[in-house]
Amino acid sequence: MTTRLRTIALALLAFSAASTLADEPKQLRILSYNIHHGEGMDGKLDLERIAKVITAVEPHVVALQEVDRGCKRTQGVDEPGELGRLTGMTPIFERNIVFQGGDYGNAVLTRLPVTAWRNVHVPSHYVGEQRGALVVELTAPDAKKTPIRFMATHIDYRPDDAERMDSVKKLEEVAREHPDLPTLLVGDLNSRPDTRVMRAFGENWTRTDTAPLLTFPADKPDRQIDYVLVRPAPRWKVVESRVLDEPVASDHRPLLVVLELVD
């Protein structure tokens, strides 16, 4: 083969490989983590430990619950800002309640481009216990740069599930604003898989696990209360769904889900 022909052949091979890579579906790595304001099962406040747990699995987007900003119990630290710095990800935070001189709520860490976000309060049945969903508009890492919606939430925990059921309805209203948009609902839903709350979610959302993945309590988990839910179901393919083996850094174990967007 002449040098010229060899050059052309190599160029064609490179073009073919590049085209194949471009056609391959891009995976989206999602992490849900209730960080218990950074306090571990050992009573230590350690955001660096939390950050190491996160970076070890290289997520694109993380939903964080129980996050402090400027609160007395966490020494006035801006936790979303600090976790953004430690992980190299963009932090987004919204307050749901004022707490100990600071703010307390949900946060998102992302490596994906952000186009907009807002905080949506869910119905509250208890004074001082306002909860919400941080709704973030993102751009997926696929060739089409598909817009996706990421809803990070933490809903009520009490035995009476009335507030949780109302939260299901409110979150459904938000999702229906763009019914065809690929959407994820990620966070601590304080509900076991066999509850009527999860059955209500299941009317319009699809769980990314086929069997319960035990996330709480972190040291000896015996229940799943953390989830990644998706819609519309045909737009998502689950590649992997697992709980990280981390028994100390928080009172919850993190839930990792790897997805592919389907055209």
Helix, strand, or coil (residue 24): coil
Query: For residue 262, what are the CA distances in angstroms to 23, 127, 142, 147?
Result: 12, 43, 10, 13
Q: Where are the alpha helices (DSSP H) in the chain?
A: 3-23, 47-56, 79-87, 162-175, 196-201
The mean pLDDT of 183-207, rounded to a whole number, is 98
Helix, strand, or coil (residue 115): strand
pLDDT in tens, 97-107: 999 999 999 99
Give the per-residue pLDDT at 141. 93
How many CB atoms lie under 10 A from the CB of residue 115? 10
pLDDT in tens, 41-67: 999 999 999 999 999 999 999 999 999
- 9 pLDDT band, cuts 50/70/90, is very low
Give the per-residue pLDDT at 129. 86
The mean pLDDT of 12-18, rounded to a whole number, is 37
The mean pLDDT of 177-206, rounded to a whole number, is 98
Give the separation between CA 101 and CA 209, rounded to whole angstroms: 39
Asked whether the bond before 193 is cis by omega within 30 degrees of 0, the reply is: no
Give the separation between CA 124 and CA 201, rounded to whole angstroms: 18
Instruction: Provide the whole-model pTM.
Output: 0.90
Give the separation between CA 51 and CA 84, rounded to whole angstroms: 9
| β partners of residue 187 | 153, 227
Helix, strand, or coil (residue 7): helix
Quote the percentage of the chain above a pLDDT of 90: 88
Give the per-residue pLDDT at 153. 98
How far apart are the two ends of the chain, measured CA to CA in Å?
Answer: 42
Give the separation between CA 63 and CA 151, rounded to whole angstroms: 8
Non-local (6+) Cβ contacts of 149 within 8 A are 135, 136, 137, 138, 175, 178, 181, 182, 183, 184
- 263 pLDDT band, cuts 50/70/90, is confident
